[in-house]
């Protein structure tokens, strides 16, 4: 994990609610440019960032969708 770089354009997960619950953000612009997806907790914008491959991120999203159903 690394500290949050200031240049990422973060996008909040559609599963995050307006009250700040379950807030996960990712940086799609960086992901499309590098193949590496930065993921963070939006409640800790200055906290650690998990860097995963696009393939791993796809798996995480699929797992979250199955778990949420």
Instruction: For residue 46, give the 3-state DSSP assignment.
Output: coil
Per-residue pLDDT, 4 = 52
Range of the domain at 31: 2-68
4-21 burial, b for 16+ CB within 10 Å, e for fewer?
beeebebeeeeeeeeeee
pLDDT of residue 57: 94
Question: Domain count of the chain?
Answer: 1
pLDDT score of 16: 63
Question: Is the full-model pTM beyond 0.85?
Answer: no
- CA torsion, ordered 15, 59, 44, 32, to nearest 10 deg: -100
- CB count, 10 Å around CB of 24? 19
User: What string of pLDDT tens digits covers the 69 residues of the chain?
Assistant: 655 555 788 998 776 666 656 688 999 999 998 999 999 988 888 889 999 999 999 998 898 888 866
């Amino acid at each position: 994990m690394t500290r949050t770089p200031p240049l990422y354009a973060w996008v909040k997960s559609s599963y995050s609610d307006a009250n700040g619950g379950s807030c996960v953000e990712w940086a799609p612009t960086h992901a499309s440019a590098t193949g590496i997806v930065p993921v963070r907790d939006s409640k800790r914008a200055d906290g650690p960032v998990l860097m995963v491959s696009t393939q791993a991120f796809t798996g995480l999203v699929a797992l979250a969708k199955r778990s949420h159903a």
